[in-house]
Chain A
Amino acid sequence: EIVLTQSPGTLSLSPGERATLSCRASQSVSSSYLAWYQQKPGQAPRLLIYGASSRATGIPDRFSGSGSGTDFTLTISRLEPEDFAVYYCQQYGSSPRWTFGQGTKVEIK
């Protein structure tokens, strides 16, 4: 079973700053199977990135994803007030079919 480890657990930044979130897999993951989600309090997760680097419909271009193999990154180029949330990486596999990282909270400094 592939384990996804996200770091840091919490990122304290100010609006306008750049956020870099990491997702490391315990085994190599196909890039096309790696996605990122944003979750705000009291809301369902929202798809941000799929295929490691493709933005979902309606997602601003300040969000970008990169990486391959075991190391993946979500970058928010300039934090807007609405970007403070929890972010999860996710991978599609065989058994189990889906795995999530434990999440990174981006909070206002």
Chain B
Amino acid sequence: QVQLVQSGAEVKKPGASVKVSCKASGYTFTSYDINWVRQATGQGLEWMGWMNPNSGNTGYAQKFQGRVTMTRNTSISTAYMELSSLRSEDTAVYYCAREFGIVATIYYYYYMDVWGKGTTVTVSS
């Protein structure tokens, strides 16, 4: 079945970097963009950016520009999100999600149809 499997929990010190992986299976990895969304404890969903696994093109939310890098390894169908200069406010669950786009009649539809289970990143001294 279609799924995204994320790497395990991480504990990092302030100023460090973290790299989270997201392995796709059950579909052609290069056919769908991957998005990263994070959620601090008790808070809402925050979109971080997208990556096209085919081209490697990326787009980041302004808040994370300069601190986030999204990459991929197509040979193992895996996407990565690296966040640098970590601070306590980056403590959150990080999700990868597949972006699905479809054309029906004259309309384009976009949504995130498959999500990973999340990776907890804790930033603490």
By secondary structure, the B interface counts as strand
Residues of B72-106 contacting chain A, CB below 8 A: 95, 97
Question: Is B111 in contact with A96, judged by CB distance below 8 angstroms?
Answer: no
CB distance from B96 to the nearest CB of A (A): 9
Given A97-B50, A97-B59, verify A33-B110 contact (CB < 8 Å).
Answer: yes
Question: Is A100 in contact with B47, judged by CB distance below 8 angstroms?
Answer: yes
Bound CA–CA A88/B43 (angstroms): 12
Question: Is B47 in contact with A98, judged by CB distance below 8 angstroms?
Answer: yes
Q: Interface 1/0s, chain A 90-106, versus B by CB < 8 A?
A: 10100011111111000
Stretch at the interface among A15-23, A39-47, A68-76, A77-85: A39-47
Question: Is A100 in contact with B107, judged by CB distance below 8 angstroms?
Answer: no
Question: Is A51 in contact with B109, judged by CB distance below 8 angstroms?
Answer: yes
Question: Is A32 in contact with B116, judged by CB distance below 8 angstroms?
Answer: no
Extra A-B contacts (20), CB below 8 Å, given A32-B107, A44-B95 = A32-B109, A33-B108, A37-B45, A43-B117, A44-B118, A45-B112, A50-B109, A50-B111, A54-B109, A56-B113, A88-B44, A92-B110, A96-B47, A96-B61, A96-B62, A97-B59, A98-B35, A99-B47, A100-B45, A103-B45
Q: A25 contacts the other chain (Cβ, under 8 Å)?
A: no
Question: Is B112 in contact with A35, judged by CB distance below 8 angstroms?
Answer: yes
Chain A residues with CB below 8 A from B37, complex form: 45, 98, 100
Bound CA–CA A17/B26 (angstroms): 38
Q: B46 contacts the other chain (Cβ, under 8 Å)?
A: yes
Question: Is A97 in contact with B47, judged by CB distance below 8 angstroms?
Answer: yes
Question: Is B44 in contact with A103, judged by CB distance below 8 angstroms?
Answer: yes
Question: Is B110 in contact with A44, judged by CB distance below 8 angstroms?
Answer: no
Could you pull out 19 A-B pairs where Cβ atoms are within 8 angstroms? A32-B110, A33-B110, A35-B111, A44-B115, A45-B45, A45-B112, A46-B115, A47-B113, A50-B109, A50-B111, A51-B107, A51-B111, A54-B109, A56-B111, A56-B113, A96-B62, A97-B50, A98-B35, A100-B47
